[in-house]
Chain A
Amino acid sequence: MQQEPVNMPSSTPPEPGPNDPKLKKKPDTLTKIILTKFFRNKLAVAGGIVLFIIVTMAIFAPLIAPQNPGDVEMDLLNRLAPPSTEFIMGTDDFGRDIFSRVLYGAQVSLLVGFLAMLGGAIIGTVMGSLAGYFGGRVDALIMRLVDILISFPNIFLLILLIAFFSPSVGLLIVFLASLGWMSTARLVRGEFLSLRQREYVLAAKTLGMKTNRIIFQHILPNALGPIIVASTLSVGNLIIVESVLSFLGLGVQPPTPSWGNMLQSAQNYTIMRDAWWYPVFPGLMIFITVLSINFVGDGLRDAFDPKMR
């Protein structure tokens, strides 16, 4: 804002700024700015690439995997074979190819993680919007529910729920989603409370806009950033919870492979001592995936942060 003359009447030409030839070319949308910032963060981009590779491999598992875990039930001749050109991650105690099972397991683990995140994000956004918009009693009620749910150890509740029903992938997603929306709800409520008082929202009201239009046009789009960041970071956590449950035998049931239940079947002394490849590869996949997701989430958070321009 340089060289603005004092006392300039309104009829004279506008202040400099957007007249700069640099700016004249392209009107940058906010989304574009955020993406540019994200792509400047090397760690986040690396995480994104790794994640992309893992997801692609999971989707195309039937084309990549040498074995279909559904077909091979047992191959006693190749029990606990070390990694070789035939079995690049070795085989398990049933003689099944670990690489194939890791790929198919990725399908299950990622599906559970993403769908549970999506469900949690939707429930959380709706609950948070209701609390933040209506305030008063509704707000108090929803937030106390959140407080109660959040103060239970999640894993205990999940174990309890699964003990009542028979474990299945679909049910696991539903339970994870219905216990994973609280932090999103808090976040969205906070955003609503702050955005509701933002001057452009007040302006929309004084211009005569209807409430639902104000919410969908002015409040939600501006609350989307934090929701996306929190949801991304929660996928990593959900994958871990899924593998913990499967490890305890309460999640995905064998023979359907998941990273968690593969770790579970690897947890005996002889396998740990003689066949390091069996626990290491599924464990490594969990580690790499969650790490990548966290890098991406951190990158998104910085990109959405308006203070880090």
Chain B
Amino acid sequence: MTPEMNTAVKSGRAQQEKTSSDVILEVKDLKKHFPIKTGILQRTTGVIKAVDGAHFSVKRGETIGIVGESGCGKSTTGRTIIRLYEPTEGKIIYKGNDISHLKEKEMRSSIRRDIQMIFQDPFASLNPRKTLGSILYEPFKVHNLHSEKERQEKIESLLEIVGLDGSFKSRYPHEFSGGQRQRIGIARALTTQPELIIADEPVSALDVSIQAQIINLMEDLQEEFGLTYVFISHDLSVVRHIADTVGVMYLGNMMELAPKEDLYREPLHPYTRALLSAVPVPRQKGVKTREKVVLKGDLPSPSNPPSGCVFHTRCPEAMEECKKVVPAFEEKKSGHYVACHLYK
């Protein structure tokens, strides 16, 4: 899309995005602990610290990428932001309002339309018993949007927006491929005209060639509707492509948060460096490849995380201090936050 076209297509909402760069979502020291219950009386005998300190903020129209290996709490972070889970501690501030402890009823009346989610597994994210038409019709009915005739038109145009045929609405999900289903999932997320979309590993279940299509579609939609994305992924190259800011999580903790260029050019945290060194890079003449940092050991259990810095058990640069003191998550350079004792 050319810039001229952009301005013509964009809605008022999207216009606003260019002029002001306000923060739409702020997550402050978010924690989500799941109780482990045992016995007949279901007593709590321990907790799994799935998320134990996530901090970031996103500006309207931008994309934050959250990366980390599996089990690091990135999906839980996403689901807590959209309030599928109630946070244990911390704040989720959406457009200046704290939504972290809103009741489900209040969520429905105020927030549910605004924040939507795109899911990982295109085969589990669509009800196999419903046609595409009724999958997309449901949100209109729930929120009482549009007249009956408009709804049908909207359904067709939504399918076309995501690159499918409007006539597909009488079909069932099982007739479609993974990539197409993911498009349907995206169309469903767009029904309520949301402003913020949490994309939880939206491409990791797809073939590489289809991944590119879905990423491109998401970028086009972001431009067209002025969407803000929280893009959760374990794939550093995908995140590098789509995100403006990147947060790195390890064992429920946000380790580093920085604008994309900074993070990939100059990663500060040893964990980020290890992750980046694991990305395969084609060998080129004259270009030095990054030194490989291979982490020892396994991810510790989130029900019994290590003391001090959670990464100290696997950190190649661990010091005595790391075992005792939890490093603060601090801004080391402008916009570049890191939680590590190496930087004081």
Contact = CB atoms under 8 A, between A and B. Distances in A.
B213 interface: yes
Interface in A103-143: 136-137, 140
A207 B116 contact: yes
Interface string A19-61: 1000100011110010000000000000000000000000000
Interface in A208-234: 208-210, 213, 217-218, 221-222
A210 B144 CA distance: 13
B176 A17 contact: yes
Interface stretch (A4-12, A71-79, A169-177, A292-300): A4-12
A31 B217 CA distance: 33
Interface stretch (B167-175, B251-259, B318-326): B167-175
Contact of A28 (B115, B163, B175, B176): B175
A274 interface: no
With a 10 A CB-CB cut-off, give which of B40, B120, B138 has the most chain A CB atoms.
Answer: B138
Contacts of A207: 112, 116, 138-139, 142, 188, 191-192
Contacts of B138: 204, 207, 209, 217
B248 interface: no
Contact of A4 (B120, B210, B217): B210
Interface string B137-169: 011001100000000000000000111110010
A198 to B, nearest CB: 5
Contacts of B42: 136-137, 140
A1 B122 CA distance: 14
B258 to A, nearest CB: 28
B180 interface: yes
Nearest to B192: A207
Contacts of A155: none
Nearest to A204: B138
Given A15-B180, A199-B120, A207-B139, A23 B127 contact: no
B231 to A, nearest CB: 16
A14 interface: yes
B114 to A, nearest CB: 10
Nearest to A12: B163
B35 to A, nearest CB: 10
B128 A30 contact: yes
A15 B159 CA distance: 13
B117 interface: yes
Interface of B: 37, 40-42, 79, 82, 84, 107-108, 112-113, 115-117, 119-121, 124-129, 131, 138-139, 142-143, 161-165, 168, 170-172, 174-180, 185, 188, 191-192, 207, 209-210, 212-213, 216-217, 220-221
Interface of A: 1, 4-15, 17-19, 23, 27-30, 33, 136-137, 140, 144, 198-200, 202-210, 213, 217-218, 221-222
